[in-house]
Amino acid sequence: MKCLTSLIMPLFLCALLIGCGSLNASSDASSESTVIVAAVLDDPMTQAASVDVTNETKADKPQLFEPGVFEDPKVCSTCHRDIYNEWSKSMHANAWTDKWYQPDYLLAHQQTDGATDMLCGACHAPIAARTGLLPPADGSKFDAASRRGISCDFCHTVSGVDQMFNMGHVSEPGTVKFGPRGDGNSLYHEVKYTKIHTKADFCGSCHMVLHPATGVHIIDTWDDWKNNEYGKQGIRCQDCHMTPTPAVSKAPGRAALMGKERDNLAFHGFIGGSSYVQDAMGNTKQAELSREFLRAAAEVKLAEKVTDNGTLELTVDVHNVGAGHKIPTGTTYIRIMWLQVEVVDNTDKLVYSSGHIDEKNHVDPNAVFFRVLFRDAEGNLTGKSWQAHGIGYDRRIPAKGKDSETYRIPLPGKGDYRVTTRLMYRSMTQDALDDIFKRTGEVLPPVVSVEMAAAQTQVRF
């Protein structure tokens, strides 16, 4: 019944009902919240996520513990040095202190009178949320372990998952550390094998965010994975994200100083698309690995034809060849992927361009964008997740799938032309950063774009 402690606000009553599995519990619910639950469950997409629950251990106790029961990651670093070093520069380690997360979280706090504090905190500061140190929202009561986001002892005292969205992990903090093998000998703690650590569902319960009141999918990575080819074949999140790069699938080593030699050790860098944030935090190695991930995900292919009246018909196919989910995934209401198309004549003069970046670091608003935006209560497009009443825009490339766009470009005269197409990525929009600056005065470095894939061709008119 973790939701009892985490979702107290009336606005989130329906999440509580769904989350605790009492789908038919209209008897103990107010009529108002029953209506909301019905509305949420009418949405077939929501149903898919709410009924599929991994049941290793049901939480029979409230998920609220004494401060200090979760150990500080520093303790683990004594023996698990390499794993600690990998993890300490991951986005998980920064999930709370993240300077790109905090402004969004604080704005949500302001606009909802604090109703979102425990929702966001459940995933971004799980130790604080489960030891009563959150609220206050500003984290002023946090102890050292809480500040370190999603850390060793949070993940390795999870004994099961009882809800596949909004963090349904069941915690059993203590001297037993749960993990994928269970055959190691440690002088410091007991080890116990748990199947859940070897399953994508372990990741999915956090990488699946539903708006508690409207049921809108804020983050849908797990649901998407579960229903695509990777999910069906059992190629897990861990298989791609707990290896240093997509190219390395086996990394031998020892998990601890006195540990056994393993032929495939789980890498704890959790690399994704955040190269910009990693660079800005000074983690250049992680940023480079992140760019490798982005480049492994996509391919661009072109088909071109010039019509008799001199119109170039350019079809750009974007293939998702490497990601186990749609690209982009995750916080796609802040992330963008887009196409840059440039046509130059044989003197290198630009005759057409789409998707360029202007002098204020903004992307051409008329570009072809692959991303998600929500619809708010008034029907306007928004990137504020807590205001989501529906999906307003969703164009992404499915796993092992493709998306096509045809450009019709009038050529200025007879001659040869060179066409360049790039698939570009930003883990955050410049608009989001400008907005943070306007609200808080905080200057974050300008967002940097990554080229995920490119293709060139020549045409003659």
The residues in 410-449 that bind ligand HEC, with binding defined as CB under 6 A, are: 427-428
Give the interface size with ligand HEC as a residue count (CB under 6 A).
104
CB 56 within 8 A of CB 160: yes
Q: How many other CB atoms are there within 10 angstroms of residue 418's CB atom?
A: 14
Task: Check binding of 325 to ligand HEC (CB under 6 A).
Answer: yes
Give the x/- contact pattern for ligand HEC in 151-170, rule: CB under 6 A.
xxx-xx---------xx---
* DSSP state letters, 362-411: -B-TTS-EEEEEEE-TTS-EE--GGG-SEEEEEE-BPTT-EEEEEEEEE-
Eight-class DSSP state of 6: H
Site for ligand HEC in 358-387 (CB under 6 A): 385-386
CA pair distance 119, 114, nearest whole angstrom: 10
The only residue of 36, 287, 327, 411 in contact with ligand HEC, by rule CB under 6 A: 327
Looking at 259, 398, 401, 415, which residue binds ligand HEC (CB under 6 A)? 259
Residue 206 lies near ligand HEC (rule: CB under 6 A):
yes
Per rule CB under 6 A, is residue 111 in the interface with ligand HEC? no
Interface with ligand HEC by CB under 6 A: which range of 70-78, 128-136, 341-349, 372-380? Answer: 70-78
In angstroms, rounded to a whole number, what is the distance separating the alpha carbons of residues 271 and 92? 10
Measured from the CB atom, the residue of 282 and 413 that comes closer to ligand HEC is 282
* Residue among 7, 40, 127, 219 that touches ligand HEC (CB under 6 A): 219
> Cβ neighbours of residue 166 under 8 Å, at least 6 residues apart?
15, 19, 119, 122, 123, 205, 208, 209, 210, 212
Q: What is the DSSP letter of 103?
A: H
Closest separation in Å from C-beta 347 to ligand HEC: 37
The region of 23-31, 121-129, 310-318, 369-377 touching ligand HEC under the rule CB under 6 A is 121-129
Residue nearest to ligand HEC (CB): 330
Q: Which amino acid is at 247?
A: A
Q: Does residue number 176 form part of the binding site for ligand HEC (CB under 6 A)?
A: no
From the CB of 303, what's the least distance to ligand HEC, in Å? 24
Site for ligand HEC in 260-279 (CB under 6 A): 260, 262, 265-266, 268, 270-274, 277
Which residue has tokens 């490119």? 454
Between 99 and 460, CB nearer to ligand HEC = 99
Q: For residues 228 and 293, give the distance between their C-alpha atoms in angstroms, rounded to a whole number.
A: 19
Check binding of 15 to ligand HEC (CB under 6 A): no
SS3 category, 440: helix
Contacts of residue 29, defined as CB under 8 A and 6 or more positions apart, other chains included, come to 13, 17, 37
Our CB check for ligand HEC shows the closer of 19 and 246 to be: 246
- Check the CA dihedral 219-223-229-235 and report its sign: positive
Q: Which of residues 329-348 bind ligand HEC (CB under 6 A)?
A: 329-331, 334-335
